[in-house]
C-alpha cells in the first residue's frame, strides 16, 4: 500500500515508547503495533486525532504517501485510456 503511518519515526523523535503512547491515547498496544508495522488497513479519525494530540503533531506528520510499483503501473494504464 502506498499510504504509510510513520509512527516509529515520531516515537523516536519524541523519545516515547509504544506502550506509553497506547496508555495516553487509550488504544490497545496491539492496535498501535498494527499501525506501526504498516499492517493497518484503516485508521479512525478519532484515533488519528488522539495520536496527533499526544504526539503534538499534524496528521501529515504521521501519514505519508509513498508511490510504489502499483502506482506506476496505474499511471501507465491511465495514459493508455487517454489515447
Host domain of residue 42:
3-82
Per-residue pLDDT, 78:
61
Q: How many CA atoms lie within 13 A of 77 on its CB side?
A: 6
Q: What is the CATH number of the domain that holds 65?
A: 1.10.260.40
CA dihedral 2, 6, 8, 14 (to 10 degrees): 170
Closest CA to 62 of 71, 53, 70: 53
Q: Does residue 6 have a pLDDT over 70? A: yes
pTM (2 d.p.):
0.78
Is residue 17's pLDDT more than 70? yes
Q: What is the pLDDT of residue 61?
A: 95
Cα 22 versus chain centre, distance: 15
pLDDT in tens, 22-81: 999 999 999 999 999 999 999 999 999 999 999 999 999 999 998 877 655 566 566 666
Q: Is the pLDDT of residue 4 over 70?
A: yes
List residues bridging with 64 in a β-sheet.
4
* pLDDT value for 64: 94
Q: Is 5 exposed, middle or buried (0-12, 13-18, 19+ CB in 10 A)?
A: buried
Please give the tally of structural domains in the chain.
1
Amino acid at each position: 500500500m502506498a499510504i504509510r503511518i510513520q509512527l516509529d519515526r515520531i516515537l523516536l523523535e519524541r523519545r516515547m515508547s509504544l506502550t506509553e503512547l497506547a496508555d495516553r491515547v487509550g488504544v490497545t498496544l496491539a492496535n498501535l503495533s498494527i499501525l506501526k508495522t504498516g499492517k493497518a488497513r484503516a485508521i479512525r479519525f478519532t484515533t488519528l486525532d488522539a495520536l496527533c494530540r499526544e504526539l503534538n503533531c499534524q496528521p501529515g506528520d504521521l501519514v505519508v504517501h509513498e508511490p510504489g510499483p502499483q502506482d506506476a503501473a496505474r499511471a501507465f494504464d491511465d495514459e493508455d485510456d487517454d489515447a
